[in-house]
Amino acid sequence: MSINEKQFVFTKHLGSLLVYGTHVLGLTLSIRECQRFPGRQQELYDAGMSDTLKSAHLNSLAADILLFRDGIPIWDIDDLDYKKLGLYWESLHGVWGGRFIMESNGSDPTHFEWGERMR
Ligand SMILES: [Zn+2]
């Protein structure tokens, strides 16, 4: 599958995730970063906020989605609503950052990434 084809499939599933989160679960969500340029990835890596220079964001194959409650961003990596989103994403064969174990800051439940089994 080409990068373009992966992006089309990823975008389709990302739409499903957003509908599930907002309309089914009733959550307040905001997309933060999707496409990322190499300079930004280097910046995050240098700051210890990413463990890789080969992020799926560089190919627009990952999106960071932040959950809000009462207008306040939720950064709790153990928040149950992130887990619900993550489990749904995994049911679509995506890779969920809530499963990551990063040296820098533990898992990354806001991160939803392309999975090789996505169709
Ligand atoms: Zn991310």
Condensed to tens digits (0 to 9), the pLDDT of residues 58-97 reads 999 999 999 999 999 999 989 999 999 999 999 999 999 9
Distances (CA, A) of 48 to 58, 86, 88, 108: 17, 23, 28, 13
Q: How much is the pTM?
A: 0.94
pLDDT tens by residue, 7-62 = 999 999 999 999 999 999 999 999 999 999 999 999 999 998 888 999 999 999 99
Domain containing 47 equals: 3-113
Flag whether 39 is in a domain: yes
Flag whether 37 is in a domain: yes
Q: How far is the CA of 26 from the centre of ligand 1 (A)?
A: 22
**Rounded Cα–Cα distance for residues 16 and 106 (Å):** 27
Flag whether 57 is in a domain: yes
Q: How far is the CA of 70 from the centre of ligand 1 (A)?
A: 23
Flag whether 32 is in a domain: yes
Q: How far is the CA of 61 from the centre of ligand 1 (A)?
A: 9
Q: Who surrounds ion ligand 1 at CB < 5 A?
A: 62, 64, 111
Q: How many domains does the chain have?
A: 1
- The CATH number of residue 53's host domain is 3.30.1380.10
Flag whether 119 is in a domain: no
Distances (CA, A) of 44 to 50, 66, 75: 6, 17, 17
- The pLDDT assigned to 100 comes to 86
> How do 111-113 and 72-73 pair as beta strands?
unpaired
- The pLDDT assigned to 105 comes to 65
